[in-house]
Amino acid sequence: MDNYDAAKATRVWQRVQGAKPAVPEVDGIPALIAGELEDSATYLHLAKRMGQKESQILRRLSEEEQSHGSCLKGIYRLMTGEQSSPVIPPVRQQPAEQILRRCYGKEMRCLAQYEARSADPEYGPVFARLAAQEREHCMTVLELIGRLNGLHRSGKARSE
């Protein structure tokens, strides 16, 4: 019985008995996972429409958002013992500036969530690191918006 995990056993019995797990810290993590993966897909979608330099920046953002999603999936798995299976909606076809404006708002909301969770005794340092990266993403998205030279009728952006 050296491998006995009391917290895991409690969660298993709660599931067996149909009780909702008493782990309030998990609240909102599935939505954060889905948001990060959706952002990753959005940045990759935009990368295909932008100039070479902007495309490189957007691909990096996409990879970092994918990494955030994976990290959050790991946290969720450790907290619940279950896999997270988020449903990611398809990226909407919109002008680049409109997409980037929406991304900036999402980055700011995500930043606030990570900052609020940075005091967590077990995962606080991870959330603090994610918050720092989201701050960088906010700056990068603003930089990309500033680089937009104009929009074509097709919604594609030209870089300066």
Q: What are phi and psi of 81, to 5 degrees?
A: 80, 10
Label residue 139 exposed, middle or buried (CB < 10 Å: 0-12, 13-18, 19+). Answer: exposed
Q: What are phi and psi of 67, to 5 degrees?
A: -65, -40
DSSP state, 82? Answer: S
pLDDT of 71-107, one tens digit each? Answer: 999 999 999 999 998 888 888 889 999 999 999 999 9
| Cα–Cα distance for residue pair 74/159, rounded to 1 Å | 37
Closest of 31, 8, 33 to residue 21, by C-alpha: 8
pLDDT of 95-143, one tens digit each? Answer: 999 999 999 999 999 999 999 999 999 999 999 999 999 999 999 999 9
pLDDT of 11-21, one tens digit each? Answer: 666 666 665 44
Q: Residue 132 CA to chain centroid, in angstroms?
A: 13
